[in-house]
Structure 1
Amino acid sequence: MPRPESAEHDYDVVISGAGLAGSAAAILLARRGVRVALLERRSDPEAYKVLCTHSITANAHPVLDELGLVPALEKAGALRNTARWYTRWGWIEPKPSPGGPELPYAYNIRRSVLDPLIRSHAAQTPGVELLLGHRVTGLVREAGRTVGVRASTPDGEREIRARLVVGADGKDSAVAEHAGIRTRTYENTRFGYLAHYRNLPLPDGIGHTWFLEPDMAYAFPNDDGVTVLAVLPDKERLPAFREDLEGSFTAFVRALPEAPPIDAAERISKIIGTIDYPLHNRKPTAPGVALIGDAALTSDPLWGVGCGWALESAQWLAQAVAPAAAGRGDLDRSLARYSRKHQWRLRGHQRLAADFAKARPFNPGEKLVFSAAARDASMARHMHRFASRLIGPMRFLNPLVVAKATAITIRHRGAPVPPAGAAGVKGPEGGRGAAA
């Protein structure tokens, strides 16, 4: 039966933010028969998020597939994000099991390519109206629930009514603020800087991450021959970086084990970053409101999970609320279902990330699993599944895994380890590295 149209609603759903999460949600909702207004505060359709890992974890591959973006991403030069990780016990290098399937993957692709691509797909999806230059300035509320937004537009102020307002507007979400949704904040005692390089070869052409306890770094190859190189040191190093950003950044990278040869590469961007990037948690729903992507949960950038969770949360929302958003069900029950799934899937990951953001060394369970993964192929694949967010912390550190890791560690007791100097990075100020 066709649903009755109502003059009370301009659209079924208004989404604030036409980045990765918002555009994905718009496509997935519209394909399910929902009329969507996709608002983007910036007027440039080519606008993109600058500060990002530029990597989509493998947990989001099914979402990319549902969106129909995989062929477009590969045509745009996106690279499958195979990676290896340095630890004090050596490199963790996941490989497929003999005769088994390839490892799960998604893609590394710069946001300057990804954001316009997915936004264009959203704009071309029947049922989606992309409204550029529309910035949410407030919410329209009736009888204790949100029924629309007020927006600043190129033509002045405008009120847009809808059954559901979706905040896909990032960690400083205006929708969350206007809805009065409380933000829980966790301190991040690392800071981060990144830069883009061309002609920066990496062994096997794959991504590299360095766990230096407490410092971190990564190098991710991207489309068009560009590598994103990032450092995430403990804030004890911050004075040196403030005094000489370029010198400190370069010295840090040069000292990495198997350091990328940045002196022979071409840096094609400024060194950009942030000295304060706390983790945020918000309840992902309120009456008439849903939050997705960083608006609902902002994790530690060192894990590179933001893009994957943005896509997944957009899919979870569309699956849960589409019929009700189109007027064919109970919206509050649908929002509760989305909220439960969001918190069930991501709460454990965020707790672990918030704990690790204290720049602590590995705890005993992590030591066992990481050291075993550097020595055993099946444990390396287990590590890959967790890094790809295909399993949660409970499965990552479950008793059977810890027992297996213990056995591997005992078997390799007394085996040679990397030289002490290789496991730590000493910058201009002689900062901390990993314990031997």
Structure 2
Amino acid sequence: MTNDYDVVISGAGLAGCTAAILFARRGVRVALLERRSDPHAYKPLCTHSITANAHPVLDELGLIPELEEAGALHNDARWYTRWGWIEPKSAPQGPALPHGYNIRRSTLDPLIRSRAARTPGVDLLTGHRVTGLVREAGRTVGVRTSTPQGDREIRARLVVGADGKDSAVAKFAEVPTKVHENTRFGYLAHFRDLPLRGGVGQTWFLEPDMAYAFPNDDGVTVLAVLPDKKRLPAFREDLEGSFLEFVRALPDAPPIDSAERITKFIGTVDYPLVTRDPTAPGIALVGDAALTGDPLWGVGCGWAFQSAQWLVEAVAPAAAGRGDLDRALVGYGRRHRRRLRGHQAMAVDFAKARPFNPGERLVFSAAARDESMARHMYMFAARLIGPVRFLNPAALAKAAAVNIRYRGAGVPPAR
């Protein structure tokens, strides 16, 4: 078999472009396919936030100067709970808290796609929609595509699905998939001149409803509401009125009535969480194609960057013909599951639109009362530590001690 490329990637979003750039820098020949023809196309339904876990990937890509020049903001955060606000701050005399970036996808997607297109070894092929897979001897060896010039077959050692939660690559390969119900729905819009306390992102845990406001580039704030589906009939009757009413009722609500809404309300009434096997013979999945989390946590962009980096680190030599590709894919799949399945399990459980469970009450209440616990929660929210470390015995013991001290001071517990 003669390969057209070493790797063909379906989807020129964050994960696909990251994988293409990093593969090509390691001498791998890449075809980067994008079904849309517009080079400025972007994903509108997104938190528009890159968690701090992706900072090393952005640094490796060399994107940080461009992001900051484009107006990306450090995604500092504060969270409202029934015990008050959790406001993480750096430790006295300690290093600054790690950060990611808030930047609109309308800015970010064209930026990284342009970087990929300029990378030697990457062929960006727009207007190419994957319509099937080429298979030989039980493994995938390429893709079939529909293009403005007609149908085309592209062969490669490895096919990468970076084509989102409804991945065509995963569907055609019949990759095992688990779909988990999300019992919240969500709508968002962009507002200009919407001041936020401290100028930082804010999230409201209302048990079970959720909301967030993230400041972005060009003075634009992304404001989203994620209520329990029990509230859906009222929202459907009057989307704008229900959205505004929901925001006005938030504790310390941002002054939405004085801000300018610059986009329509967009959202979804059904956004399930999706977990797939990240590999199959001749195939790897990255980003939302491998694992689609709950948008309320704002982790999708960060995991798109990370999973693409993990894949390249695991398989680049084999993809270029210098190793055992199947063995390399096993390594990528193992790392992906080890790093993300615990996070996904917690998100799946929380997507049931339930109040906090006892462990969450313990940690969240302590984080609202103690700076070190607030930093601990920040590290988890930034996905710099996993669930095991977040809820380890030492952290739970400290949270219990904080709450005992607080109640011992005569302050009644919040209900």
Q: TM-score, normalised by structure 1?
A: 0.94
The residue aligned with 1:316 is 310
Alignment of structure 1 residues 392-407 onto 2, 5 Å: 392-407=386-401
Aligned residues, how many? Answer: 413
Q: Deviation string for 1:16-51 (max 9, x for gaps)?
A: 000000000000000011000000000000000010
Question: 1:417: how far off?
Answer: 6.3
Question: Where does residue 422 of structure 1 map in the other structure?
Answer: none
For 2:282, the equivalent position in structure 1 comes to 288
Show the 5 A alignment for 1:184-203: 184-203=178-197
Alpha carbon RMSD of aligned pairs, Å?
A: 0.8
Instruction: Return the offset for 1:416.
Output: 5.2
Distance in 2 between residues matched to 1:106 and 1:32, nearest whole Å = 26
What is the CA distance between 1:309 and its match in structure 2?
Answer: 0.2
Question: Identity of paired residues, percent?
Answer: 79
Equivalent position SS for 1:162: strand
User: Contact conserved, 1:188 with 1:276, CA < 8 A, in 2?
Assistant: yes
Q: Deviations over 1:390-433 (max 9, x none)?
A: 00111111111111100111111141567xxxxxxxxxxxxxxx
Aligned ranges 1:30-429 → 2 under 5 Å: 30-413=24-407, 414-415=410-411
> Match of 1:412, SS?
helix
1:24 counterpart = 2:3: no
Question: Greater CA deviation, 409-418 or 55-64?
Answer: 409-418
The one-letter code sitting in structure 2 at the alignment partner of 1:24 is T
Q: Is the 8 A contact 1:16 1:168 kept in 2?
A: yes
Measured in 2, the distance between the counterparts of 1:88 and 1:75 equals 38
1:352-405 CA-to-partner distances (Å, cap 9, x unmatched) read 000000011111111111000000000000000000000011111111111110
Residues 118-141 of structure 1 show CA distances to partners (whole Å, capped at 9, x for unaligned) of 000000000000000000000000
Provide the C-alpha distance between the structure 2 equivalents of 1:37 and 1:130, rounded to a whole number of angstroms. Answer: 6
- Given residue 229 of structure 1, which amino acid in structure 2 is its aligned partner? L
TM-score, normalization: structure 2? Answer: 0.99
Q: Which amino acid aligns with 2:3?
A: H
Structure 1 position 183, deviation (Å): 1.4
| CA displacement, residues 260-298 of structure 1 (integer Å, 9 cap, x when unaligned) | 100000000001100000000000000000000000000
Rounded Cα–Cα distance in structure 1 between residues aligned with 2:411 and 2:346: 30
Alpha-carbon separation, structure 1, partners of 2:81 and 2:370? 14
Aligned AA (2:385): I
Structure 1 gaps of 5+ residues are 1-6, 419-435
Cα distance in 1 for partners of 2:366, 2:11 equals: 42
Q: Which amino acid aligns with 1:203?
A: R
**Cα pair 1:25 1:315 within 8 Å, conserved:** yes
Hey, what's the Cα distance between the residues in 2 that align with 1:98 and 1:409? 22
1:325 and 1:154 mapped to 2: Cα distance? 29
One-letter identity of the residue aligned with 1:404: K
* Letter paired with 1:301: P
Which consecutive residues of structure 2, in runs of 5 or more, have no partner in the other structure? none
SS of the equivalent of 1:14 reads strand
